[in-house]
Structure 1
C-alpha cells in the first residue's frame, strides 16, 4: 500500500523530473517491464494500440515527445491515492488537462501507467 505521504512525494518528484526534462529521474520510479498507455503514443505513430512495455521502449517514445514538445512543462493540480494507485491531475502540453493513473508494486515502483487527456 502506498501512503498519502509517499503519493505526494512521488507526484512532486515526477512533475519536477518532467519539468527538468530528466528522463533518468522520471524512469527511476518505474519497474523495468512497466506498461504504459496513452493517446499520444497512438498519435505519434509509436504503437498502433497506444501501449508500450518496458523502460527502453518508453524512453524512446518520451525522447521523441520531448523533441516534439521542447517547452514541455507540467503544472500539478491534484493528487489522488488509494491503496496501490495514484492519480496525478495536471496541466500538460498545449494547455491540455491530464490525469495520469499509476499502479505501484510492493516495492513502490510503477508497473502500469495510463495517461488520460481532455
Structure 2
C-alpha cells in the first residue's frame, strides 16, 4: 500500500466500526487471522482469538454489550517493508474515551494476518 491508500484504509476501517458493520471490517482479514486484545479476554475468555469465525463471534458479542461506539482516527504509521500498519485513534464507547492503537500486519495477498490492540489512558468525553 502507498501512504494515501493507508490513510484511506484507516478512514474506511473507522467508518465501518462507527456503523457497527462487523462484516465490512472482517472483509480485510485473512481466514486464519490471529487477533490479540485485552477486551477479548473479558468477552471471549482468551486474549488471542484465532480465525475469522472466532473473531466474528467475539466482535458481535462485544458490540452486543455496547450502547454507543465512535472511533476517530488520529494518525497512521505504515512500514511498507514489514507490511505493518498502526492506526492510532480515539475510541468513545458508552461515554468512555481512550486513545488506542490497532496494529495490523498484512500478508502478501493484502489481507490482515495478525492484529494486536493496545489501550491507552481513559479520559472523559
SS for the counterpart of 2:105 is: strand
Deviations 1:41-94 (A, max 9, x none): 1122x133x000111100111001111112011111111111101100111132
State the partner residue of 1:57.
Answer: 54
Aligned residues: 115
State the partner residue of 1:3.
Answer: 2
Q: RMSD of aligned C-alpha atoms? A: 1.1
Give the CA deviation at 1:16: 0.6
Aligned mates of 1:116, 1:88 — CA distance in 2: 10
Aligned mates of 1:36, 1:71 — CA distance in 2: 23
Q: With a CA cutoff of 8 Å and minimum separation of 6, indicate the structure with the bigger relative contact order.
A: 1
Name stretches of at least 5 consecutive residues in structure 1 with no aligned partner: none
Aligned mates of 2:16, 2:32 — CA distance in 1: 20
State the partner residue of 1:70.
Answer: 67
The alignment's TM-score, normalised by the length of structure 1, stands at 0.92
The alignment's TM-score, normalised by the length of structure 2, stands at 0.87
Give the CA deviation at 1:28: 0.6
Deviates further, 33-42 or 69-78: 69-78
Would you identify which runs of 4 or more consecutive aligned residues in structure 1 move more than 4 Å? none
Bigger proportion of residues as strand: 2
Aligned mates of 1:80, 1:36 — CA distance in 2: 19
